[in-house]
Amino acid sequence: MRAQRGLIVLLLLLAVLCSTGDSLRCYNCLDPVSSCKTNSTCSPNLDSCLVAVSGKQVYQQCWRSSDCNAKFIMSRLELAEVQYRCCQVDLCNKNLEEGKPNNAATSLLGKTALLGTSVLAAILKLCF
């Protein structure tokens, strides 16, 4: 009986932790004339932000990280050459000149996962 109660608590905790995730937000402009200020929430299957530059054309949008390679990007956007960066932090695809994406959000996610694991271990210890 006690083990069943612990399992129920574990499943409820996992359901809460899994359902509270926020979707990624990315700048979303195709060949903007000026600085891109439009952003959107990515669908769940698009887990990265892309900024791609070809000549004077700039593409900023939600993207799938598994498709983040020059060959696929050039094919999909119909470009002959491209400089690009994919990142997984909200609004990290402003432009290529800003360098690497800020890792603060990634670090925060790691700390949240560690805290969740610690809480889960404490709950299991109390239940058993």
Q: Please report the pLDDT score of residue 104 as a whole number.
A: 39
| Mean pLDDT calculated for residue range 119-128 | 57
| Mean pLDDT calculated for residue range 98-106 | 42
pLDDT beyond 60 at 106: no
Cβ neighbors of 61 (< 8 A, separation 6 or more) are 26, 27, 28, 29, 30, 49, 50, 93
Identity at 53, one-letter amino acid code: V
pLDDT beyond 80 at 8: no
Q: Please report the pLDDT score of residue 88 as a whole number.
A: 97
> 19-55, pLDDT tens digit by residue?
445 799 999 998 776 788 999 999 999 999 999 999 8
CA–CA dist 7, 1 (Å, integer): 10
Identity at 48, one-letter amino acid code: S
| Mean pLDDT calculated for residue range 55-66 | 94
- For residue 75, the Cα-to-chain-centroid distance in whole angstroms is 23
Structural domains for the chain: 22-102 (2.10.60.10)
C-beta separation of 41 from 65 below 8 A: no
Identity at 96, one-letter amino acid code: L
